[in-house]
Chain A
Amino acid sequence: MDEILAGMADGADAADAPDLTQDDIERMCDIICDPSNIVGVEPGEQVIVTKDGGEFKFSQDSGGCGVGITSISRAAAVQMYERAFAFDTLELGWMDYSFKPLKTVVYEEMVTYEQIVETVIPPFMYGAMPNMGLYYAPDGQFRNPNDLMRVSNMEDSMEQSELAAEQLVGDMEYITGQFTKIGLEGFDFDTTGSAGDAEFVATLRGAETYRKQDPNANIIIGMSSESILGLHGLMEYKGYRVAGMYPAEQAKMAELSGANVFGAVVNTNSSKSFPWNVARATTIIKKCTSEANIPVHANLGMGVGGIPICEVVPTDTVGRAGKILIELAHIDGV
């Protein structure tokens, strides 16, 4: 119980969120202490499950949390998610799972998507990370803002972030525009904000453009971390400065961009216990769901949402975290 209270206090302080109620705290303790191996929600309380990474989780190596079954085709992998695992949504993704490398293979991906989408029934997304770090040296064409900050060249650092963001917005417009031509059902902008506030704003603008390209598009914006790093510091979206935003404010930006679903993240502190982390995540995400006008899917993967940071995640923590966030934070999906 002490761990729950401490985690809740830390989350409330970080995200300016109200404390959980006494009933919430006691219920959380009951769920954590449930002696069952598998812990799930009660009938009628189930929510939607969305997933990043697409079908390539079958074939990828452990670096991408894949299981290394390289002999399985991409179409078969999607159909297994549909029929063997009965997922609520399906996804296709390129193995680098980032916009920049996707741009060079987009036509192959369009053909693959076209072939699979005619055979499956649940919502079938394409997914990629903005991953704006790939646009900076030594991998990309822009100077690295972090290197420039180290030598106190703040103006150039900010300028490079802005230039990279413009390039990313252009790449997003091109890619979603191409996919729209072949009837893409939706796009999962995954792990957004990993390169800070400029990347978050670029992604919001990319989602906004995609919404104009296809008014029926299914758009998810999922985050990379709980707060927006101010690597630029002054980036704004529709008059709001985004640096330092927590999930409740991030969800409002996602809604303004035209996204249908917001994926909230709360980072796991690997020096703390599961009760501490899941209490912190619940406190922060409960504020987000209470203020958001669009559905909120909590990110509950390795290292976020209270889930421990380890390659083979203990199943009992997965079920408990999901049940706690569904019952107490009222999330619309996982």
Chain B
Amino acid sequence: MAVAHGLCSGMGGMRTTGDLVCRMQFAKSMKIADAKKYVADKLEIDPFQLTEENYVRDIREQLGMGVVTGQPNTPKGMPAKMNIEKVLGIEISSCEHFRQQVLRN
């Protein structure tokens, strides 16, 4: 059922920019239209293109935000999230914790 929702109504997560738009809903409590516009402006694309898989896949790779396929030599996990912080201008708690641990050592 959840997968059906994802296909029928969802933004597509890392296949597109669903995770980025969701970051803004959480970080700034933005409603969907505002969150889409914010992310589109940061990526310098039209909001309509946020869910065009092939188009945004290259943007994700260029900006180091992680791609959904197993692409060698691209940021994954924490490094990708740190790049997302920079692109969107937000702070992610897990990234901050990671930075504190690195600095502590």
Q: Beta-carbon contacts of A86-125 to B below 8 Å, as 1s and 0s?
A: 1111000000000000000000000000000111111110
Taking a contact as CB atoms closer than 8 A, the residue among B10, B77, B78, B90 that contacts A48 in the complex is B10
Q: Does B66 lie within 8 Å of A121, measured CB to CB?
A: yes
Q: Does B3 contact A (CB under 8 A)?
A: yes
Q: How far is the CB of A297 from chain B (nearest CB, A)?
A: 9
Q: Does B9 lie within 8 Å of A46, measured CB to CB?
A: yes
Stretch at the interface among A5-13, A16-24, A194-202, A210-218: A210-218
Once A118-B78, A183-B98 are accepted as A-B contacts, the answer to whether A88 and B8 lie under 8 Å apart by CB is no
Q: How far is the CB of A70 from chain B (nearest CB, A)?
A: 19
B56-100: which residues lie under 8 A (CB-CB) from chain A?
A: 65-66, 68, 76-78, 80-81, 84, 90-98
Q: Does B10 lie within 8 Å of A319, measured CB to CB?
A: no
Q: Does B9 lie within 8 Å of A41, measured CB to CB?
A: yes
Q: Does A300 contact B (CB under 8 A)?
A: yes
What residue in chain B is nearest A120 (Cβ atoms)? B77
Q: Does A86 lie within 8 Å of B68, measured CB to CB?
A: yes
Taking a contact as CB atoms closer than 8 A, the residue among A122, A183, A184, A318 that contacts B8 in the complex is A318
Interface size, chain B (Cβ < 8 Å): 50
Q: How far is the CB of A48 from chain B (nearest CB, A)?
A: 5
- Complex Cα distance, B22 from A51, in Å, reads 13
Stretch at the interface among A227-235, A264-272, A326-334: A326-334
Q: Does A48 lie within 8 Å of B32, measured CB to CB?
A: yes
Taking a contact as CB atoms closer than 8 A, the residue among B4, B18, B29, B93 that contacts A122 in the complex is B18
A294-334: which residues lie under 8 A (CB-CB) from chain B?
A: 294-295, 300-302, 307, 313, 315, 318-319, 322-323, 326, 331-334
Q: Does A185 lie within 8 Å of B10, measured CB to CB?
A: no
Interface size class of A (residues with CB under 8 A): 35 or more
Once A123-B22, A124-B94, A183-B93 are accepted as A-B contacts, the answer to whether A85 and B47 lie under 8 Å apart by CB is no
The residues of A that contact B103 with a CB separation of less than 8 Å are none
- Complex Cα distance, B1 from A183, in Å, reads 30
Once A87-B13, A123-B22, A295-B25 are accepted as A-B contacts, the answer to whether A44 and B5 lie under 8 Å apart by CB is no
- Complex Cα distance, B5 from A334, in Å, reads 7
Q: Does B91 lie within 8 Å of A216, measured CB to CB?
A: yes
What residue in chain A is nearest B46 (Cβ atoms)? A44
Q: Does A43 lie within 8 Å of B21, measured CB to CB?
A: no
Could you tell me the dominant secondary structure of chain A's interface residues?
A: loop
- Complex Cα distance, B66 from A326, in Å, reads 28
Q: Beta-carbon contacts of A31-55 to B below 8 Å, as 1s and 0s?
A: 0000000111101101111110000
Once A121-B81, A313-B1 are accepted as A-B contacts, the answer to whether A86 and B14 lie under 8 Å apart by CB is yes
- Complex Cα distance, B5 from A332, in Å, reads 13
Q: Does A318 lie within 8 Å of B1, measured CB to CB?
A: yes
- Complex Cα distance, B3 from A40, in Å, reads 13
- Complex Cα distance, B81 from A183, in Å, reads 13
The residues of A that contact B35 with a CB separation of less than 8 Å are 48, 295, 332
Interface CB pairs A-B, < 8 A, 26: A40-B8, A41-B8, A46-B51, A48-B21, A48-B35, A49-B2, A49-B11, A65-B1, A85-B2, A85-B3, A86-B14, A89-B22, A117-B94, A119-B76, A121-B80, A121-B81, A122-B22, A183-B96, A183-B97, A184-B94, A260-B27, A260-B29, A295-B25, A295-B31, A322-B9, A332-B25
What 8 A-B pairs come out closest when comparing CB atoms?
A183-B97, A122-B19, A218-B26, A319-B8, A88-B18, A322-B9, A40-B8, A86-B13
